[in-house]
Amino acid sequence: MDKKDMDRISELLNSMKAAEVPTQEETPEGQEQPLTPIGELEMLIQKLAGEVDILEEKRLIAVADSQNTVRRFQNEATLIKKYGGEKLAAEIIGPIDTFRKVLATSPEDPQIKNYLIGFEMIINQIDQGLGQAGVAMIPTKIGDDFSPELHNAIEEVQTDSVAPGKICAIISNGYKLHDRVIKHATVKVAKA
């Protein structure tokens, strides 16, 4: 309600107090009867009620928008907390896999074997730390079904050791951060 509406209401109320209630006379057919101050007030009240409804609807939309914005920011903050270490994890996984390949060798020299035992302990500690941060190796075995969501096939191999479409060799391990794949397992698949 603006100043003009307030002034008009005040003017109508004052005129109602000062004026006597006129008698209703017959008006010729087709002509509108002039509005009485009460009629004008009723129309003004209807107009203002409509404006109130519009403003209430706008207010509700603004509240919903602000709630959606808060919810969106909360979701983004949760995702940042959950997946914030993805880049670091992806960078450290390659060297860890290389370490695992070195540990899989069996050298003859006992001194080197002792070093490898120490390196294996270090890898286990790194795996433990990554596990606590939500990083896990994707379990992949020879004979598993190939899944493009988890595996990256680099070659199809003719083999009788596994059924067609199954994994026949694992080149490198795959990893997930919580439920998101950060490195696909590199595999070879049996030809169909």
Domain boundaries, the chain: 1-14+41-83, 86-190
Sheet with 167-172, edge to edge strand ranges:
151-157, 185-190, 167-172
Entry field: residues in the chain: 192
Q: What local confidence, expressed as pLDDT, does residue 100 receive?
A: 86
**In DSSP terms, which residues pair with 175 in a beta bridge?**
137, 183
162-171 per-position pLDDT tens digit: 999 999 999 9
User: In the predicted model, is pLDDT for residue 18 greater than 50?
Assistant: yes
Regarding the domain delimited by 86-190, which CATH topology (the fold level of the hierarchy) does it fall under?
Nucleotide Exchange Factor Grpe; Chain A, domain 2 (2.30.22)
32-51 per-position pLDDT tens digit: 667 777 778 888 888 888 99
